[in-house]
Amino acid sequence: MAGQRAKTCFQEDDPESGVLRRATVEFIGTALLMLAATGAGLTSHRLFQNSLGLGLFVNAIATAGSLVALIFAFGSASGGHFNPLITLLQWLSGERKLNCTVAYVAGQFGGAIAGVLMANGLFQATDTANDLVTPWALVLSEAVASGSLMVIVFGCSRSGRKDTGPIAVGLWLAAAILATPSASYANPAITFAAFLAEGPISLSALAVSLYVPAEILGALVALAIVAVAYPTSVLPPRADDLMRATNV
């Protein structure tokens, strides 16, 4: 169509939408990216202290997987930068306005700090003698894991790019399992059934009773976060609506 802006990678679908909203999306995405990277690093340090190579491998999987998932989920809303270098080079190339650049970079730095603090908070409550995470930290971990997974699910859903959902969810889960102390059950049905399971996935009745409410709470927080990224007033039209419009 004449006058319609072509969609390109690392460019938001609507560059005229509110700068604050798009910068907030960059804040959220960078925070989740840093949570995954920091959490995976702390996990690998706790489990593989004598194997630097294995630790780097774990960190690489979590960081790369989470980044792809976040770009899928938030690319339509903000461009999915989560890196000031991308934003600054777009500005230098004349692809982004200065006020947007400043807001994005501020959001990215703020998000990175928030992600580190979140990961540190999840892993700080450790029993150093036995190298085990305390129960309340595991409950908080499940709230974060479930919330972040729902952010990816509904971010992909509302972005209008439905084919990215399964890939993004799989990649994010791989990252979250490595990056959270609870190993990211992030599913009340799975959590409940884990009480009956044998092996590493098994959970006690007490853990199930604490994890499930935490997962529900995390999901509700995620819905509010996604509403910031994709307000209903700017959701992409459904494919069947487009078909009807072209046939009128």
Which one, of 125, 122, 128, 121, lies nearest residue 181 by Cα?
A: 122
Check whether 245 has a pLDDT greater than 70. no
Q: What integer is the mean pLDDT of 15-39? A: 95
pLDDT digit string (tens) for 179-222? 999 999 999 999 999 999 999 899 999 999 999 999 999 999 99
Q: What is the pLDDT of residue 4?
A: 47
**DSSP 8-state symbol, 135:** H
How far apart are the C-alpha atoms of 188 and 215, rounded to whole Å? 7
Complete domains list, the chain, with CATH: 19-231 (1.20.1080)
Check whether 12 has a pLDDT greater than 60. yes
Which one, of 122, 113, 128, lies nearest residue 141 by Cα?
A: 122
Q: Which residue has the higher pLDDT, 5 or 124?
A: 124
Check whether 32 has a pLDDT greater than 90. yes
pLDDT digit string (tens) for 118-175? 998 888 754 443 445 567 888 999 999 999 999 999 999 998 877 899 999 999 999 9
Which one, of 227, 155, 219, lies nearest residue 189 by Cα?
A: 219
Check whether 53 has a pLDDT greater than 70. yes
How far apart are the C-alpha atoms of 163 and 156, rounded to whole Å? 9
Q: What integer is the mean pLDDT of 87-106? A: 96
Is the separation of the CB atoms in 152 and 73 below 8 Å? Answer: yes
Q: What integer is the mean pLDDT of 23-52? A: 90
How far apart are the C-alpha atoms of 196 and 29, rounded to whole Å? 35
- Considering the entire predicted model, what is its pTM? 0.86
Least reliable range by pLDDT among 22-26, 36-40, 118-122, 168-172: 118-122
Burial label for 78, CB within 10 Å (0-12, 13-18, 19+), is: buried
Q: What is the pLDDT of residue 177?
A: 93
